[in-house]
Amino acid sequence: MKIRKNIAYLTTVALMSLVAACSQVEMPMDRAIAFQVASHVASPTKADDYAVDYAAVPFGAYAWFKSENPADNADFMTNEKVAYNTEKNVWTTTSATYYWPRGGKLDFICYSPYSENSGPVVAENSIQWTDWNVSDNPGVDLMYATKAAGLTGPTTTYYYEGVPTLFHHALAQVAVKLRLAYTEKESSTGDKTRWKVTVHSMSLKDVHTHGSLALNLGEGGAWTLPAEGTWTPAGTVASLPLDCSQLPAPLTDETVYEVGTPMFVLPQPLGDANYVDMEVTIETERDTGEGYKPFLTESHVHVSGALASTALPAWGINHRITYTFILAPSLPTDKDGAPVPTEVHFDPAVEGWQEVALNMSINI
């Protein structure tokens, strides 16, 4: 038995410091380039310290020298690995030390995480990932930074002194929660019914797991995202299994449970072919005045629900989508006994990522 229904309950200025002491003049000698890193844009004026969640995640840096004489323009950094120096509390290159030029300006583009051979293709005005497979790279949070242009020395914009490096998530993230809509009902005649539901498996069906993304700089130096904020999918669709091993077996109350851990997914358009599939067993018990007794068991039933709606046509770049599936253990009917159609409602919120939280009821 397979029911697919939508439901109804359901984010430096080149600075030469002259410090006079009596007749002596001291000049800073160390103008090594460091990076000040931030991520998780929650609002236009707020960003989180990259080190909070990514202290152990080096990133890659590209830089270009721009001179008043265009003939002197040159590549300055090419895919340099930048890591956190805990002793000095700075983010700096690891293979060599770079110093701020005396004249001219520097432009920087960074990406995360660093890769020696399989990182994105980066040019002065573009970043491109080709045929990235999220299934082959579980837990990898791809990010790209706002281009830092026209720098003549370090600044302090976020949390460190150095090159301002504001990262944005390139993928989407999906989290899944689950609860029962109810576990017990009492009829007007006084008899009672209660249900227990065991979830054997859950998976997200017919989704793309690899694709490509090309970002280009637009007006004002901001990255231009593709239409709908999605990647260009490639290859065949796949099923993404969810870890149900931590769920109680059976579910006997209306507690909201997390199903597995949030996963990175390819930003992609969603349609009728995209759905969640659950394999469940429903145990029904009835009390007609002599206590609850087993009444009916439906073993290993497949139920499903759509992942898309008019409010959520796609998993977008930098979106964190939280689905809360609400399972009704009996099929709702109207006064004539006909099934009641249900629909999806959404409760979007923003929390670092652009949050898109949904409550979706699936009627068994």
Give pLDDT tens digits for 305-337. Answer: 889 988 889 999 999 999 999 888 887 644 444
Q: What is the pLDDT confidence band of residue 360, given thresholds at 50, 70 and 90?
A: low
Q: What single letter denotes the amino acid at residue 20? A: A
All CATH 2.60.40.2620 domain ranges of the chain, comma separated, are 31-169
Residues in the chain: 364
β-pair partners for 122: 127
What's this model's pTM, rounded to 2 decimal places? 0.81
Closest alpha carbon to 85 in 32, 152, 12: 32
Give pLDDT tens digits for 42-54. Answer: 444 467 888 888 9
For the 31-169 domain, the top CATH level (class) is mainly beta
Average pLDDT, the chain: 82
What φ, ψ does residue 207 adopt, rounded to 5°? -110, 150
Query: CA-to-CA distance for 195 and 329, rounded, in angstroms?
Result: 7
The two beta strands, 172-180 and 257-258, are: antiparallel
How far, in whole angstroms, is CA 228 from its chain's centroid? 16
Encoded tokens for 264: 């990175």
